[in-house]
Structure formats: structure tokens, C-alpha cells
Amino acid sequence: MKGNILVISGPSGSGKSSLMHEMMKRVENTYFSISTTTREKRAGETDGEDYFFISKDEFKKGIEEGNFLEWARVHDNYYGTSLKQILKELNAGKIVIFDIDVQGHKIAKEKFGNIITSVFLTTPNQNVLRDRLVKRGTDSLESIQKRLNNAISEITRVKEYDFLLINDYFEKTLESLISIAYASRHKVSSINTEEFIGSWAQE
């Protein structure tokens, strides 16, 4: 069995990071694809763990050299996914987990096809999302409004995903996400069917 990709998208404030980190404690043989960004580090974030933080000039150079699987400009900053490490982990048979937006998901699906299983994660409604962003206390009111506008735009593309999870109760949502991760390993499109059939048919 080859490795496969689990894409998790959704608005900032929906609980993606907490759910992914907890899921990876419970699902073996996973690798989290750390994104590269040009935005400023937030309090408590660590370079090389939460993101790779680089300058806009460095990022643009990476684009020119083809170092990113996908990249996008969001809220006046660049975000991207490094290609080299992903291929290494896929060849090792791991579930590679992406935290990327709808643009990134579209590009990744075009490049990797059916080895991708995708989840769109969000709150029950935009009012809950607004409350979570305000309580988080890391963004200005202007930034929160930008994030809400972006979330409204992204929600219209939920039909491009395999699964929709509404994060109203953390443990319940986590249980569903873990189930999806395990199921993603067994998609026929993620298996070398020629090899399996040949092996199965041997006497």
C-alpha cells in the first residue's frame, strides 16, 4: 500500500489545529505537512513546528524554483506546501496530513488525484466562528472580518470535498476525523491493485 494524503480545510477558528494534533496522537504512521508562510509568528508559535516562517522574497524565489506543491496568497501573506518532504513521506507509506485552504486543495487534487481524501471542517454557523475568533484574542477586528468574509467564500466550495465535519462538540468531531483517517488508508485508489491481485491469486 502506498501512502495517502488527508487534506483538512476550513476557516481559521474552526478548530483544525487542535483536532489534527489530537488525531495524530491516536493514528499511527502519520506525517503533518508543515506549511511555509510569510506572515508574522503569533505568540507561542515555533518556527519548524507550527510553520516555516520566511520572508516574501524567499517565498517568491521558492515559487520560481518550483519548490511548492501548492501556494496561495491569503490575507496579504503567502502560504505554501513544500513538495520534497511530502514525496519522501508518501514513499514511506504514511498518511500525509495537509492543513490547506480550498485553493490549495484544488491544486493538490489535480497533482495527486485519488490518493487524496479531503475534509472540510467548520463551525455550526458564522456567528459561532466570529465568537471563537474574538475569544482567541490574536486578531484585530479588521482581521476577524477578513477571515469571516473568506470563510463565507470558502463554504460555497464545500461540495469539492469528500467529507464535511461540523465542529460543535470536540470529542465527537475528533472521533469522526479519526475514522476518516483510518478509512483513507483503505481506499482502492490508494492501493497498488495490480500487485494485490497478483499476490492474492498466487497458489
Say whether pLDDT at 161 is over 90. Answer: yes
Asked, for residue 10, whether it belongs to a domain, the answer is: yes
Q: pLDDT tens digit string along 20-38?
A: 999 999 999 999 998 899 9
Q: For position 154, what pLDDT does the model report?
A: 92
* 203 in any annotated domain: no
pLDDT in tens, 41-60: 988 899 988 888 999 999 99
- Tell me what pLDDT residue 140 has: 84
pLDDT in the model for residue 178: 98
Average pLDDT over residues 13-19: 92
Q: Is residue 186 part of a domain?
A: yes
Convert the pLDDT of each residue in 81-118 to its tens digit: 888 889 989 999 999 999 988 988 998 899 898 899 99
Asked whether the predicted pLDDT for residue 198 surpasses 60, the reply is yes
Give per-residue pLDDT as tens, 1-10.
479 999 999 9
| Contact present, 165 and 16 (Cβ < 8 Å) | no
Domain encompassing residue 45: 4-197
> Given this model, what pLDDT does residue 49 score?
84
Q: What proportion of the chain, given as a percentage, has pLDDT over 70?
A: 99
Model pTM score: 0.80
Q: Which residue, chain included where needed, has cell 491493485?
A: 193
DSSP codes of every residue in 150-177 = HHHHHHTTGGGSSEEEE-SSHHHHHHHH
Least Cα distance to 133 among 123, 146, 125, 144 occurs for: 144
**In-domain check, residue 123:** yes
Task: Round to whole Å and give the CA distance between 20 and 8.
Answer: 9
Taking the C-alpha atoms of residue 201 and residue 191, their distance in angstroms, rounded to an integer, is 16
Matching residue, cell 505568540: 43
**CATH (domain of 45):** 3.40.50.300
The answer to whether residue 202 is domain-embedded is: no
Residue 175 domain-assigned? yes
Other CB atoms within a 10 A radius of the CB of residue 37 amount to 19
What residues does 171 pair with on adjacent strands? none
Query: Domain total for the chain?
Result: 1
pLDDT of residue 94: 95
Rg (CA), the chain: 18
Q: How far apart are CA 165 and CA 119, in angstroms?
A: 7
Q: Note whether residue 75 is domain-resident.
A: yes
User: Which residues, including other chains, have CB under 8 Å from residue 130's CB and lie 6 or more apart?
Assistant: 144, 148
Does any domain span residue 32?
yes
